[in-house]
Amino acid sequence: MPELPEVETTRRGIAPHLEGREISEVIVRQPRLRVPVPGDLVERLVGARIGVLDRRAKYLLVPVLPGSPREPAGTLLWHLGMSGSLRMARIGDLPKKHDHVDLVLDDGAILRYHDPRRFGFVDWLSGTPDTDTRLARLGPEPLSEAFDGERLFSLSRGRRLAVKPFLMDNAVVVGVGNIYASEALFLAGIDPRRAAGRISRERYDRLAAAVREVLAAAIAQGGTTLRDFVSGTGEPGYFKQRLNVYGRNGQPCQRCGAELRLVTLGQRASVFCRVCQS
């Protein structure tokens, strides 16, 4: 599933091609996504211009500026689901089997949404994005100043929940999915099974720093491609080559040589080093 670094990589890749462009055509080949494509999307978008792209957690926000003073502005809310990707194409590039939605721009470029499993969606927000129920209760961005060890420490007091699913709770901090939670806990030297309420403030400071380090490195490497993900320019992510624990069950720890172990936490597979993480 594309996580925060993959969505941020997508945003950075497509933004230069979209921002300021007019939408000349909208093509919907498959409206039956996880959230059905709004039936009036064509009417809302054709003739409008695209503003500055943003991201909130794993959601991509595409502001749509009115084509005339009478038309309301709004936002396209895009989620890539488990297998979705957005890439740039040109008029004349034939769509592939699972290319469901095209935004054709006035310069001949096309933003093309590809999603074999159809677990993603594109939806229309008429109001302020933060008022949408999917966004309103989200925690802070992990690369922002609002996220730190003090927040993790204070929210974890009295919690028996294991620290890994606690870290993956979007009300605590957004966008720290399975891959990057596993890697951050390894860098911080914390056993993912340990109760969140039994971790000290000092260790949470290290964990918050590790989250920022892992996510920043993943974004710099274009995200992590395990199966389906490609960036807006069609490139895979290269952070997979830097994974210390995720997906490496039974292999030797790259730091100490001990065999990495697999456990299930919050119905998610978690690989860790029993020596380096305690």
Annotated binding site for DNA: 98, 117, 159
Catalytic residue among 2, 142, 165, 192: 2
Measured CA to CA, the distance from residue 204 to residue 163 in angstroms comes to 10
Angle value at C-alpha 22, between 57 and 94, nearest 5 degrees: 80
Six-digit token string for 32: 């039956």
Which of 156, 190, 195, 159 is CA-nearest to residue 172? 156
Note if 58 is an active site residue.
yes
- Dihedral of CA atoms 6, 10, 11, 15 in degrees, nearest 10, equals 170
Beta-sheet pairing, 109-114 with 268-272? unpaired
Angle value at C-alpha 271, between 268 and 277, nearest 5 degrees: 125
Catalytic residue among 206, 240, 268, 274: 268
Q: Which residue ranges make up the annotated binding site?
A: 98, 117, 159
What separation, in Å, do the N-terminal and C-terminal C-alpha atoms of the chain show? 28
Catalytic residue among 3, 6, 8, 183: 3
12 Cβ partners below 8 Å, 6+ apart?
232
Note if 268 is an active site residue.
yes
Catalytic residue among 11, 58, 164, 203: 58
| Active site residues per annotation | 2-3, 58, 268
